[in-house]
Each structure stands twice: as C-alpha cells, then as structure tokens.
Amino acid sequence: MLYHRPLMPLPRSPGQLLSYSQGSFSEYRRSVCNCDDDAPPLPPRNYRVAAKTQREDNECFGVNGRSSIPPPLPPRPKIINTNDEIGLERLDMSTGIFTPISSDAPSTKFKKVRHDVALPVNTNNNNKPVQTNKFYGNMLLGSQTSPVWTHPYSLWIDKSSKPGMAVAYIKSSQRVFDTANKPPRYLFSPTGIKSFVFSSTEFKSADDMSVSLNTLKHLSAQVRLQKSDQEYIRFYLVQGMGFVTAIYYNLIPKVYSGVGFKSISGDTSPRSGISKYKIVLKDNAVWTLYVTIPGGQSLQLALQNNAIVGDRSINGGLFQIVPDTNSDIDRAAGCYPITADLTGSVSGSKGNYTLTFTNAGESNSGTSLMYALPHQVENFTSRTVGKINSKLDSTVYGSMTGYLTKAFDMTVEVPSGLGFDPYTTIKGKGGPKYSDDVLSKIREAAASEIDGDVVSESNVDSMYTAGKILAKYAWILYCCQYVIKDSDKVSKLLPKLKEAISRFTGNQQILPLKYDSVWGGIISSGTVYQDYGNAYYNDHHFHYGYHVIAAAIVALVDKDASDGKWLGGNRVWVENLIRDYSNPSSTDIYFPMFRSFDWFTGHSWAKGLFESADGKDEESSSEDVNSAYALKLWGLAVDNKQLAAIGDLSLGVLKTSLNHYFLFTDDNKTQPASFIPNKVSGILFENKLDHATYFGTETQFIHMIHAIPITPASSFIRSPTFVREEWEQILSKIVDKVDDGWKGIMMLNLALYDPKTAYEFFSGSGFQDKYLDNGQSKTWSLTYSGAFK
C-alpha cells in the first residue's frame, strides 16, 4: 500500500517562501469574516472604550494613566547576580550522555553543495550549523515576518508602517474551533493580534530597521532589530520564557499596541531601579510592564498617539511584559533567560534530563520567570523549585505553570528492557513466548517473503519509501535469525538485504544524498517537490530512522550469523544520518544539535525550510518514536551506551508528551474537552491542531499515521488503555470497510492491547497480502502478535 503526502508550500521564486495555507479552513473562514486565506479570523473583541482626547493621550502616565511617572530611584548595590552558580549539586553543565558521535567531516560520498535557501543577511552563528526545524524558523525564512512561538507567547517581526517586534498572548477562550463537526476537526489560535510592538522613535519606517540573528541554538535564539551596530533592540527568545524582554541600546523606546491602551497605571516597584505598571488593553487583557533602567541613567515615559514613548535614548534598559498581575512575579522582574542548556542521564528504568537556564540581569529571587508545559510539570523532580500561582495558556499544549527557577529538572520512565525483541506493556504479559503453532505460521510466512526482491523494491526515488522497505525486510531477517532460528533463510535474505542497502551506503540511489554546507545537513538531490521535501529538511527523522533501524538489524545479524565485517564498512554512513537528525552535541561543527527533536515540547518537528503561518508541525508521532527507537537499536548494535541511553531518554520523554498532546485517553485534561473524542491530534502545529493528514482525511489515515510502524517500541508509547479506547470508539467501526494496507496496520496496532485477535487475523484463512502496507510484512505481524497472544 502506497500513500503520498502533499509537499509543504513551495517557493514561487528563489528566496520567496509561501506561508502555509490554512487550506481546509478557507471556506469556513470566508463564511465568518472577510479574511485573507493566510490570516485566521480574530475572535470578537469588545472595544467599547470611551474616546480619549488628544490632550489626554499625550500626557505623561503613571497612576490612573494620567499623572507623571515617578522618577527612577537611585541605584543601590547589587543584591544578587543571576549568573551565580546554580545551587543544585548535579547541575554542573556537563553533557552527561550527550557526547558527540563523531567529530569527523561527513563522508566524501556526499557531494558538498550550498543550499538554494540562503541564510538571511546579518545572521551569525559563530560558524556553527543553523537549525532548520526549530521554533524560531520563521525568522530565518522568506520575509522573516511570520510568527514564532516560545510558549506562552508568539512574536513576529513587524515590518509595517509601525515597525518593531510584535507580541501576542492568546487565551484559551480566544481559540477558534471548527463548528461544522462534532468533535471539531480543528482548532487554532488567532494570529496577528499585536498586543504590544516594541519599537523606537528612530524606526520611522521598516527601512530604518534591519534584522540580525545570532547564537541560534536548539532551545534559544537572539534577535536584534537595529538602526546601526550600536543602536538596536535585543530580544532573547527562549522556550518557556515568562517575560518578553526588550533590551534597548542607544535608542529611544517606543511601544505600540495594535489593540490599543485602555489604561496605564503605576504600581509599587518590586526593587530599586525598576518601575512597574499595570496596563489594560482595549480588549480588556491585563498586562504588567516592568521597566529597568541601569544606574546612572534616567527615562521618562509618556503616552503619545497610542504609544508609550521615552524622552531619551537608553543603553541597556529593560522593558519586560507578562499577561499576569500575580505579585510573585515581582520577584523575577529585572532578570531574563538568554539561553538554555541540556544535560541528561539514564540509570536503569529512570531517565533524567535538565534544562538549565542561563540568566542575565538581577531580580529579588535571583531567578527569572519561566512557564512549564504539562508534560514537564508531570515529570518535575524536587530539584525544580519556585512554583508560583500563575497559569498561562499555550496554543496547543494546554495550560502552562509559572516557576521562579533556574532549571527544569525532570525524571521519566525509560524502556530499559526494550531492545530488538517484541515488547509489550500489557499487564500480565512478560517477554515474547511462541507456541509451536505460532512458530510454524511464522516459518510459512517467512518462506514466502524472503523471496521478495528487496533490491528492486527499494530502488525508488524516495529515502522515506526505501527506508520503509529496507526496514520491513530487516525485521523479516530478525525473525528468521532470532525467532524461528532458520540459518538457511538468513543466508538467503542477508546477502540480498546487504546488496539493497549498499546502493544507499554507496550513494548510488536514484536521488543521491548531498551534504549542504549552508545549513549543515544531508539532503536529497531531488527538487523541492520530491521525497516529501527532504531537500528542504522536511521529515529527516522519519526518513533516516527507518534506514538506521534496517542497518542496526543487519549489523546485529551479520555479527551473529556471518563474519561481522559489515559494520566496519557501513558505520560512517549510518552515523552520518544519525548526526543529521539527532546529533547530540554542540561540539559537532557539521550538524546542528538535535535538528528534529525539541527537548522543550518533548517531541520532534517535521517541517524544515518552509515559512508557515502556524509554525512547525508534526503529522506522525509514531514515526517520531521510530526515529528515537532507531537511536537505541543502533547504540545496542555498535555498543554505544551513550547513544542507546539517548534513545531511551527520548522515548521516555515522548511517552509523556505524546500522551498529553497527540494521543488522547478519555481522561486527558490537557487538550480541550471537545477535542478529546477525536482520540488523536491529527497534524499538530505550533498554533493549531488539524485532525487530518497531508494525504487525506480518511479516518484510518488520521489514526494510523500515529501508529505506523508497529515495532517493539510501540507498546511503550501507545498504552493498552489508549489503544483499546481508540479501537472501541473509532477503529472497530470502520475496519471491516478498509480493504488495503491500512487494514494491516490497524490490526497489528490492535496487538498492543488484544494480541490474540490480531494474531487470528494475520494467521487466518481470510488474510490477503493486499492488507499489508509497503513497510509491513506478514512475518513480522505474526511474530509480534504471536509473541503475546
């Protein structure tokens, strides 16, 4: 069974990238507003506010929005330096398991090229590769004006007549839901609401403001809006940052609101040198503004023509906003995160990972304000301190919780017992056990399937499709060697599989791979329209994960059943693919660190170099799992304990995050209650959930793209409870109508909670080969379901 996913929106011309079209939303949106197809409708807002006179608008503001701002207090000695050593013994910033796989240049088999999409002017990453699939990607692409999501905020570079950095925070009550279907097929947060725009009087137009990006890491980025090298506003974008912080250097501050200011009133200062204001916008949203002026400087602010304007330039002055008035937040004012670092370890069935925030500035607490996602809160250890009574909404991740902390420290369950063998989390089931009857059925299926022409079948113009086919035959090889223990079948299939893989390790496939020195990655030589956008960094973890698993199984079997020399000749190629999508170290100068996996949101992003109005997205949570599982299997095959541990830890994080955001048991409290009956998210974007796929809206497509491929790792993520609910509520009602390869996926998925029924399907007289996906074999289906029936 073949299926094809439409490509992402593509360039009209070099350097011009389209925003993701809301497609399926268009008709709905046109019915409720005269909206452009690239801009979702804004929810109704109440602007019934008494008009202010021009005289009032131009007065200095303070208490009640009318009186003058209090003069800044004189500076006093530092209370605390927020860059002091962290008082947690284990947070020593060591890398732990995140050590480099290699420091060598990519294989010379990959032709070195420069990507068609150039880095923006004024982008400096200290000669390190730039991330392609991270949250700030839109600021690197096209017009650089599409939003990025740090959660709980979205920010975008506004190049309109009032240029600057625009900021929005969207409450859950503002989300737009599909009203034509129950449960709703989609939900999204409106974009384009300029709650605040940080600008300067020197930015008369967008031509006066250039954009500079630097220190682009996997969890953070720095952006400057500048008039010159000495005159600029700096923004540190860190996932989970509690304040949006604008730092002014030699510019006169000017802050707009596209919504409009309803009132601005002075409030009690949290400490010397910081002024605090309560701001109510005309949509009745309440924000807090903190202004920190360095010692020896002063600044007066006035409201002029719906803008907060300073009376002089400042050097190093902070403007910090947050859509909350909780007094605990005062203790973080003046401090802000500038970057985040990842450390991790695995011990037995527990994995630990820590996001440590490097802060700048000073605050009463010695920390900044951070907001944590639900899956993080669930896994926090006692080392994560400073929880406060502040909750803010994310777009697609539920409610976030505020912390005054220097680190998020989390412990997750990891599948320490997971390896190559079938694995289940069904209660009462141990390891795989095969009756003589089951072994007989597996032998029968293997006898037929080892005759398949893997060399020809995998000779296609897609790394994705080829990877699925190679992995399918590799799992058949595993069954022959370790389950039915048939050396004749192994000796027949192993050489054919080696030959098929050699086409790729020799880079002789239809679309050879290349090394791109602009972004630092291994890409297809196909056009942007081919192989699901691989050449533009789409889906690399999906594609390469299959190849890594196939190689891991071949290496293992070759060691146990042959001369064991295959690994030595192919290891570099395999590990180049791993370094491309999951390089674990920033010291590897050839690939960005963790291109695909996002250690803050807890899952990967599939979208590469495509500007998108709704941000990055992921369609297949299960192929995300497959890519992490590939790390573990390769680590086991080559005895790389650190890499195997990274695979384990990634799976542990995915187990929690996917079951909050992608896979919905009936008791899920993270996603909106009305969306839970869908059971799966569909495509999860940074700004929306779309219960669909890129290749169709059939129910089996939407659900099974989150199940494919069924491997030993599947049961660790897709719990028996979830699989049962999804089956009983949705899949059982359609399975009899499905007559192609999706049927086989559905039935093998059933083995995750009812292996007996699944086995009876694959072993029964009514089974037909047309029920097998092109990446699924009858041999493996019988092996997995038969192991636990």
Residue 325 amino acid letter? T
Residue 24: half-sphere exposure toward Cβ, Cα within 13 Å: 20
Alpha carbon distance 665, 684 (integer Å): 17
Residue 314: phi and psi, rounded to 5, are -130, 155
Q: Which residues are catalytic?
A: 539, 619, 623
Question: In this predicted structure, what is the pLDDT of residue 43?
Answer: 31
Do 434 and 485 meet the contact criterion of CB atoms below 8 Å apart?
no
Residue 576: phi and psi, rounded to 5, are -65, -40
SS (H, E, C) 403-448: EEECEEEEEEECCCCCCCCCCCCCCCCCCCCCCHHHHHHHHHHHHH
Q: Is the peptide bond before 294 cis (omega within 30 degrees of 0)?
A: no
Do 279 and 295 meet the contact criterion of CB atoms below 8 Å apart?
no
Q: DSSP labels for 552-581?
A: HHHHHHHHHHS-S-HHHHHHHHHHHHHHHH
Please report the beta strands in 178-240, taking only residues with DSSP state E, as ranges in sequence order: 186-188, 196-200, 210-214, 220-226, 232-238
SS (H, E, C) 741-758: HHHHHHHHHHCCCCHHHH
Rg, the chain, Cα only: 27
Alpha carbon distance 113, 97 (integer Å): 32
Alpha carbon distance 317, 334 (integer Å): 10
Alpha carbon distance 119, 516 (integer Å): 12
Do 591 and 110 meet the contact criterion of CB atoms below 8 Å apart?
no
Place of tokens 């679309």: 511
Place of tokens 């054919």: 496
Alpha carbon distance 750, 761 (integer Å): 10
In the three-class reduction of DSSP (H, G, I as helix; E, B as strand; rest coil), residue 673 is classed as: helix
Do 449 and 777 meet the contact criterion of CB atoms below 8 Å apart?
yes
Alpha carbon distance 161, 314 (integer Å): 23
Alpha carbon distance 390, 380 (integer Å): 17
User: Which residue in 313, 382, 410, 306 sits closest to 53, CA to CA?
Assistant: 306
Beta strands 210-214 and 123-124 are: parallel
Q: Interhelix angle for 463-478 vs 778-786, to 10°? A: 50
* 655, containing H or E segment: helix 641-661
Torsion of CA 54, 55, 59, 65, to 10 degrees: -70
User: Which residue in 395, 343, 339, 400 sits closest to 616, CA to CA?
Assistant: 395
Question: In this predicted structure, what is the pLDDT of residue 438?
Answer: 99
Alpha carbon distance 4, 694 (integer Å): 8
Beta strands 253-256 and 617-618 are: unpaired
**Domains of the chain in sequence order:** 121-326 (2.70.98.30), 340-413 (no CATH), 436-787 (1.50.10)
Alpha carbon distance 91, 100 (integer Å): 20
Q: Which residues pair with 515 in a beta bridge?
A: 112, 522
Alpha carbon distance 84, 381 (integer Å): 22
Q: Which residues pair with 200 in a beta bridge?
A: 253
User: Which residue in 266, 333, 280, 357 sits closest to 63, CA to CA?
Assistant: 266
The pTM (predicted TM-score) of the whole model is 0.90
Regions of the chain with pLDDT less than 50: 1-94
- pLDDT 10s digits, 493-532: 999 999 999 999 999 999 999 999 999 999 999 999 899 9
Question: CA separation (Å) from 565 to 199, 411, 560?
Answer: 62, 39, 11
